[in-house]
Structure formats: C-alpha cells, structure tokens
A and B are shown apart, each in its own frame.
Chain A
Amino acid sequence: MAWPVRSREPCSLFKYLHNHNTGNMKILVVDDEKDVQILFEQRFRKEIKSSEMQFVFAFSGEEALEYLNGHEHEAVLILSDINMPGMSGLELLGHIKQKYMKPPPMVMMITAYGDAENFNTAKQLGADDFLTKPVDFNLLKEKLKLIH
C-alpha cells in the first residue's frame, strides 16, 4: 500500500518532530498483544542501548490515553494497533488528534487489516502513517530515521 508522502519529502509533522527531538525520541506503542513489548525491545535494542529511542508500552487505548494525560508532550510518536478490545486504535487516534494536546503527536496506525476502508478512515482521522501486520521493522526503522 502506497502512503502518499512516505518516499518523497517529509511532511510537516516529521519536520516538527525533527525540530523538537534532536536526540532522544520517545515512542508510545499501543497494542493489546503483550509480546509486542518484547518484540520492540529486541528489534530496537541498539537504539534503546544508545538512548537514541525510548519506548513506552500501553496495552489498550484507555491505558494509552491515561499515559498521555500524565505525560503530556513527552511521547512524540505513537504506534497504535487498530484492533483492540475496548477503545479501538481509531478511537484513540480521534481522541489524540481532535481532543488532546496541541500540537498533537505523530500517530502511526498498525493493523492486520490492510484494506482501503481502514486506511481511509485512519487518514481522515489524521493518522500520519499506516503500517500493516506483520510489521516490516526495516521499513519502520527507515521511517523513523526520516524523523531524525
């Protein structure tokens, strides 16, 4: 699936992130699958070791909102699953982009359904990027490098 801005010049939010986070980048990962934490920690172990990136995990939309309420402006990137029990990733996205924090952090949606409808809904709600499961971490790292 082609993300319109991905391979060309970075969008304004990338610029924003770049300007405000020169060294340490804090990423909030939201997914109801607990093993995601271990996976991310191993996948980004070098980046974590070098303090290039910092990861925080939330296992539901509600938990993510709770974290964001307590740590406003800390997380600059949110990677959220769409399908979660309770508050879905799309609802979380809506909350973040419309009701919370000005300016809102960047949000990338991750889902097992790579269909056009999910993609369009996420885009309408203001998602900055869209990834499908299984996650291609090399692609994700490339996207993150663009921010740095």
Chain B
Amino acid sequence: MLFELLLAIFIFRYLRRSPQAAHLLPEWDKFFVAGMIASIALLAISFLLPGSKLVIGWLADMILVALLYVALTRPSFQPLKSMAYAVMPIIVVVFISDATKLISKSFYNEYDNYFQTAQLFAVIWLIALWMMSKKQRKALEIERQKALEKEKQYAISESMKAALEVQVAERTAALTAQKEELQQTVNELKSTQAQLIQSEKMASLGELTAGIAHEIQNPLNFVNNFSDVNTELITEMQEALNKGDLEEAKAIAADITANEQKINHHGKRADAIVKGMLQHSRSSGGQKEPTDINALADEYLRLAYHGLRAKDKMFNATMKTEFDESIKAVNVIPQDMGRVILNLITNAFYAVSERKKKLAASVDGTATAAGATNEYVPTVTVSTKKLGNKILICVKDNGNGIPAQVLDKIFQPFFTTKPTGEGTGLGLSMSYDIVTKSHGGELKVETKENNGLAGQEPGTVFTVQIPA
C-alpha cells in the first residue's frame, strides 16, 4: 500500500516536471495537483488510522489504474506511452496480488513467493525501462538542444538577413542619390560646355574685333576722304567749265571717276569685312557652299594679325602667303572653316611672339643670345596646295614648337598652354571637330621643339586636309 501511494506521488510529480509531459500543462495540471494532494493525504491517513489500510490500498490502486487508463487511451498522452508501459506491470502485479489477497488469503499466502517474485520483476522492469527512458530522454534532450541551436542560428541568420536587407536598401538609396547627383552634374557640365563653346566663339570674335575695327577704319578713311576730294573737284570742274577750260575740266572729271572707283572699292571692302564678322558670330549649322579658300585664308590672316597687334602694341611678325592659285572654289562651311584658320593662325602668332619674348628675356644673359634676338624674324606662313583630289591648308610658324609631352593633348578640349584666363582650351578641339566631322577631312600637326642648337630651326606646321 505504501509502495502504491509513493509510486502515484512519483508519477504525478513526474507528470508535472518532466519535459515529455510539458505539453499537458496547464490543462491537466489541476488534476495532477489534485492527484498528488490526494495521494499525500491518503498516505497521511494510512499512518494516522492503521485500520484504514485496506481501503486506502484499494484507493491507491484505483488512482494508479485510472492514471494507466488515461495514459493509454488519451491521444495527448502519446509521448508518455513508454512511461506507461514501464509502470504497467507493477500496477498490474500489485493490483492482482491485492485482489488475490482479498479473495483468498490462503491462496495468496501459499503462492506468496510467486507474487513477491512477480513484484520484483515488475520493479526491475520499471527501473530498466526508467533507465532506458532516461537515456532516451538524454538523447532527445541533445536533439532538442540541437534543434534549439539550429533555431537560434536560423534566428541569427534571419536577423542578419534583415540587417543586410536594410543595408542593401540604404546602399540602393545612396546609389540612387549618387546617380541623380551625377546626372545633374552631367547636365550642368553639358550646359557649361555649351556656354564654353559659345564663350570660345565670343573669345575668337573678341580677337577679331580689333582687327575688324582696323580693317573697317582703313576703307572708311578712303571712302570719306575721296568723297570729300570729289566734292572739291566738282567745284573746281565747274569753275574750269565757267572759265571755258575744257581740258582742265576733262582732267578733273577723269580724277573724279578714278576716285569714285576707289570709294566703291573700299566700300565693298568694308562690306565684306562686316559680312565676315557676322558669319563668324553666327552660330554653327551653316551650309557648305563653294568658297574661295585662298581669299578666306587671306582674310582671316589679316584679321588675326591686326587683332593681335591691337592687343599687343609691340607684337610684330612677318606674314607670308603661298597660295596655290589653281584651287577653284571648295565646298566648305565658310564661317566654320574661317574659324579653324583663324584659330591656327592665332596660335601661330602666339607661338612666334612667345619665342620672341623668351629671347628678349634672355638677352641680359649672353651676347650670343642678343645676336639671336636680332636674327630671329617671327614668321607665320599660310599656304594652300591642291594635291590630287585633296586641298591642303598649312599654317606654319617658326616659334618654339610643341613639347613632346603635351603634343598628344593639344586636341583635347580645355587643354591650353596659355595662362589662366587667356585661352579657353577649346580652339584646337573645336577646329578638330570642324575639320574631321563637318568636312570629312584631317587636321595634322608636325612640330620641332627648340633644342637650342644652331641650324635646327624649331617650329610647328598645322595642316588641314579636306576633300576638293
């Protein structure tokens, strides 16, 4: 009887504590608590009232059988089946021995040994299964730990994934912002480039204006003064006619005619210059038209020269032209090709004036340098040549040449050797585009750098080659 109650208490405790029975809580907890309290109460009663032993023994058996029945029939007790099988034999053996004791005490006493042995085996069975279950439990526990570990790792990887996603989102946002910023910068650069191209046009126009002023004032000088002279001559002619001096009147009339021709010539000269200026300032997109390349080159040579002279009073250079008169009209965009020629000539003048400045600066040094200064004649030569079905326009200077380390950069936009603010660095790159893209030609450069050796004249030749 004592054994049955202790077993019941043990089972109730097990059901409340064991992890295998954890899923039964809290639904069944109150029954377990009640069962445990009842078992303890029965145990206490059995000690206080020794006469109640038989009844209590049966009650304890009932509790155990009920527990066994529940464990074997209820589906939620499925994980506890192994435990149920462990305790089943002892419960059955105890129940049978108690029943046998009640029915026939003599039979029980006779076979007491068998009952004792059965009980012993049942206990051994219980302990063995208990040990096995403990072992299993340990294995299960390890499995569970592993699963928990996995779950933890999964959670960690999940949180890392989330963090990564946040990071990716952040990066994406940053990249998008960067991309937008770059796009804006590109747009700004584009508009700046457009402005720079315009300012390059204006700069070359600025180079031209002084030349244009000079070129216009000269013809105007003749137009104004010859017409004044003619007014005087007409008065004189009238006087001569009044006197009857026909010879004199005829002579004066011839003079007047000659002067009128001069006026007309210089008027047209001024007109051509203004037209050229307008063409130059007009935005690109002009049409190709048959153009006298020699006249174009000559016009821009003069304009460039006078423009530089206006800027730098002491500037001086010899201009040479070697035009191939066999060249007929060539199909070019006049204002664009004019801009190219102007650019090359302006650069050539710049090169020779730089060399002269350097020579002048070194005069203090040696006597030979002084001699060299006097010997040096800054010369810019513009020549044209027809070569098969090609037209060459060459602009040659005897300046210091282009250093090898910058030679491959000269056609790059914004590359300039001039001091800041003096050159836009777009002259040659625009010229290159005009010659190659608009005219399907080539722009080449040959240069010889000044190595200071006598007899090795430095200089640069730019050659524009366009289809005739």
Contacts and interface: CB of A to CB of B under 8 A. Distances in A.
Nearest to B255: A42
B316 A88 contact: yes
B220 A134 contact: yes
A90 to B, nearest CB: 6
Nearest to B211: A83
Interface string B214-229: 1011101111111011
Nearest to B311: A117
A140 B310 CA distance: 24
B386 interface: no
Contacts of A91: 314, 316
A144 interface: no
Given A90-B313, A113-B310, A133 B220 contact: yes
A24 interface: no
Interface residues of B, number: 30
A121 B313 contact: yes
Interface in A97-148: 112-113, 117-118, 121, 132-135, 137
Q: How large is the interface on A (under 10, 10 to 19, 20 to 34, 35 or more residues)?
A: 20 to 34
B183 interface: no
Contacts of A121: 313
Contacts of B218: 33, 112, 133
Contacts of B224: 134
Contacts of B229: 39, 42-43
A78 to B, nearest CB: 18
B225 A137 contact: yes
A12 to B, nearest CB: 26
B309 A135 contact: no
A42 B319 contact: no
Interface in B408-443: none
B305 interface: yes
B318 interface: yes
Contacts of A10: none
B210 interface: yes
Interface string A57-88: 00000000000000000000000001101111
A141 B318 CA distance: 34
A133 B220 CA distance: 8
A35 interface: yes
Interface string B344-358: 000000000000000
Interface string B265-278: 01000000000000
A39 B225 contact: yes
A38 interface: yes
B381 interface: no
A135 B316 contact: no
Contact of A135 (B214, B225, B233, B318): B225
B259 A117 contact: no
Q: Which of B214, B229, B313, B314 gathers most chain A CB within 10 Å?
A: B313
A43 B313 contact: no
Q: Which of B214, B221, B258 gathers most chain A CB within 10 Å?
A: B221
A90 B226 contact: no
Contacts of A43: 225, 228-229
B396 interface: no
Contacts of A38: 258, 262
Contact of A113 (B213, B233, B255): B213
A134 B228 CA distance: 12
Nearest to B319: A85
Contact of A35 (B216, B217, B222, B319): B222
Contact of A88 (B223, B226, B233, B309): B309
Interface of B: 210, 213-214, 216-218, 220-226, 228-229, 233, 255, 258-259, 262, 266, 305-306, 309-310, 313-314, 316, 318-319
23 contacts: A33-B218, A33-B221, A33-B222, A35-B222, A35-B262, A35-B266, A39-B222, A39-B225, A39-B226, A39-B262, A42-B229, A42-B255, A82-B313, A83-B306, A83-B309, A85-B319, A90-B313, A112-B213, A113-B213, A133-B217, A133-B220, A134-B225, A135-B221
Interface of A: 33, 35, 38-39, 42-43, 82-83, 85-88, 90-91, 112-113, 117-118, 121, 132-135, 137
By Cβ-Cβ distance, the 7 closest A-B pairs, closest first, are: A112-B217, A134-B221, A112-B214, A133-B217, A133-B221, A134-B224, A42-B229
